[in-house]
Structure 1
């Protein structure tokens, strides 16, 4: 900065030499000194902010691997903290969730799908650093942003990138355009929330409403909210946020009940009426989704 100011002084001096003398040179240099001091104070403030932020690129950072945490074991329950009470909306239009986190067509759907029109702008939910901005199998054009609380948000099926890998982004910053790249069935945003490679049900952490609410500044996450097999992509699971570690530990005690099959029942109907996924019923009872169930048969329902 000093070199720039010195150059500025010389430039002004040379240009005014043949035209007009600088009458009050002391006043001029005082103004320059004030600018220098102000700039130094601002630089120090920025440096303090940078020092305060954790180095999120220090461990398991990769621009080419979607999940760089494959060798990391995550312990449950885990705690997620937020500095804000709201997130920045990833899309500006009304957030219509067309497919939820859960079991879908015999596979795990590890995020939620939000309706959009190809070309709609997408935005980062929180501040962070872009870890990936490239084409991935299934997801198509994908942007992954790592945040300072350990989460990563994934924005998939883009039609155009608006950021580069290793870019620092602010909350609400433009990331690119939505689209249908990859294995998308129609234009939508496939939004995934990962913690060290583990996909968390986004609707457990956030309310996808007009207020863009985070359910709490501190949330405890159990395995239930990281395993799509316990949820259905067709409907939102019943959500009871866990605010303390004690609540999280208490919730681990699963409640098992017995359901007696009635005339006209199917696994799909039973799952819908009991708010559990078909996959969960099959897993607990060691049956397949194609298994024939009979009237009077007893099935375990575990929540």
Structure 2
């Protein structure tokens, strides 16, 4: 019996050994087409978008007149305009009754345009209404942020025609003119700001019947952001800075000699030359109460 079992095991082992081994087939990946690097030469890239930049991304506040109080602005800076004209902010001939400059011992940071209470007021450019509410001093005020970074301010209104966050087009109705706030008689107080800093509007725009923008690309220096060196009773001499080189060159202060005449005072000389009394005193080592004499030569630095 033991011999039979041994013989049976030998026969089974021979049968197993004699079976055909399973064939292992390797897949030939050379027949597969793998993705190659995408050829973008025929891909159309849209670079000219009709969607304007999102001017509400930063410093967008509806309850603050100037949200840029802690923002440092470097000068000179360049402003760009898409159009050659602006929409008149009023529907009648524009008469400027007070200019950007020093007025009654304080800074007047815009221009006053004559109107009758109830006259319609319009947006100068496309933009979005950032503020439409009562502002101290300005009364009923509308502030529009435009797509080149500027903000225009329409103050002393009698009635609002837009609400905050409204998207508006150039020439859009904003409200009615009036005498709200600290207004002396009905007029539109128009301010042009860049990141909270006022710019003399007459440096950027001609307030004539043609509604002319002085240049499509214009450099602005600090000279045009300081009311204390401008006279609110007359337009400052305009010299446009069209290139960065011109803007940088203009920063070099020019000196001239002024000979004191009969009746001159430091105040009178400062107004005639569009400089401050402080600057005259500093360059000439004088005090504000110093006595000046006829024939005395003073250095005027602009």
TM-score w.r.t. the length of structure 1 is 0.79
Residue 188 (1) aligns with residue 212 (2):
no
CA deviation vs aligned residue, 1:209-265 (integer Å, no higher than 9, x gap): 000000000000000001111111111000001111011001111101221211111
Residues 288, 169 of structure 1: alpha-carbon distance in 2 compared, 3 angstrom cutoff: farther
Inter-partner Cα distance in structure 2 for 1:103 and 1:170: 33
Inter-partner Cα distance in structure 1 for 2:105 and 2:287: 11
Gaps of 5+ in 1: 1-47
CA RMSD of aligned residues (A): 2.1
Q: Secondary structure at the match of 1:172?
A: coil
Q: Secondary structure at the match of 1:93?
A: coil
Q: Which residue of 2 aligns with 1:139?
A: 138
Q: Tell me how many residue pairs correspond in the alignment.
A: 256
Compare 269-278 and 205-214 and name the one that shifted more. 269-278
Residues 285, 106 of structure 1: alpha-carbon distance in 2 compared, 3 angstrom cutoff: farther
Q: Which residue of 2 aligns with 1:45?
A: none
Q: How does 1:42-191 map to 2 (within 5 A)?
A: 52-191=51-190
Q: Secondary structure at the match of 1:52?
A: coil
- Tell whether the 8 Å contact from 1:232 to 1:276 is kept in structure 2 after alignment: no
Gaps of 5+ in 2: 1-46
The structure in which a higher percent of residues are helix is 1
Inter-partner Cα distance in structure 2 for 1:160 and 1:282: 47
- CA positional deviation for 1:91: 0.6
Q: Which residue of 2 aligns with 1:26?
A: none
Q: Which residue of 1 aligns with 2:21?
A: none
Inter-partner Cα distance in structure 1 for 2:292 and 2:110: 31
- Tell whether the 8 Å contact from 2:129 to 2:167 is kept in structure 1 after alignment: yes
Residues 247, 184 of structure 1: alpha-carbon distance in 2 compared, 3 angstrom cutoff: same
Larger radius of gyration: 2
TM-score w.r.t. the length of structure 2 is 0.79
